[in-house]
Amino acid sequence: MKDEYGQLKEYMEQSQKTVAVTGAGISYLYGMRRLKQSVGRMNAGRIFSVPYVRKNPEKFYEVMKDAFLDATFVKGPSAVHKQLAQLEQEGRLYGIVTQNLDCLHTIAGSKNVVEFQGSFGDNICVDCGNRCYDYQIWNHGHMPRCEKCGAPLMPTSFCMDAAIRDSVSGESMKNAADMISEADLVLVIGTTGFRSDEYLSRMKAGTKLVQINPSETEFDRIADLNIREDAAKALDAVLNG
């Protein structure tokens, strides 16, 4: 393992622009529940519809609280979130592309973050369509309301209105792909590759890819280096080794 850590450090020292790609693994390990656990036997498509949220705002909030909000605002960022933020602050990490909705990278202090599935930092009113770009509205113990009309807000990424959701997702994925296209080193951490073909296709020739994940994933076949370890240990070796 020491040799792998040494190789990772060497890659990062040689890199002019390193980008991290993160997935649910770095949140699940630190208390985030899987959405299916919180939804239970309820129909997810129905819960995430505008009519349901309009009629049952507090029930929707309870699902969000159980699945995401307690882990986000009570437990807070994991060691990995904080380590990535530190690497960015030290100028050793250019930015983060994440499939996660929880805003934990931002809460940990990272500034250059692309959330290609959207997040709790992008919300829409179920009545007037007003948008609110502030994840802190979910940190008050109750369902957030639109400041213009008072109707419930919901994360845009959960909205089942295809036109709205696809518009947001398309723009965010373009930003993710643009960031990846600039990298000469990509660190893949805690993701099995959800929608990876949409951003990795923009990776330029010669860019190295390092995967840090205890489990096998589709990245195994293309990674220049696979580190079968908890990401916190690997990143600690980079920061303090």
Digitized pLDDT (tens) for each residue of the chain, 241 residues in all? 569 999 999 999 999 999 999 998 887 665 555 555 545 555 555 777 888 999 999 999 998 898 889 888 988 899 999 999 999 999 999 999 999 999 999 999 999 999 998 899 999 999 999 999 999 999 999 999 999 999 999 998 877 566 665 666 678 889 999 999 999 999 999 998 888 888 999 999 999 999 999 988 989 999 999 999 989 999 999 999 7
Nearest to 154 by CA among 173, 174, 131: 131
Name the β-bridge partners of 187.
20, 210
pTM: 0.89
Q: From the centroid of its chain, how far is CA 190? A: 10
Nearest to 26 by CA among 80, 98, 91, 65: 80
Q: Put the strands of the sheet holding 208-212 in their side by side order.
A: 113-115, 95-98, 18-22, 185-189, 208-212, 225-227
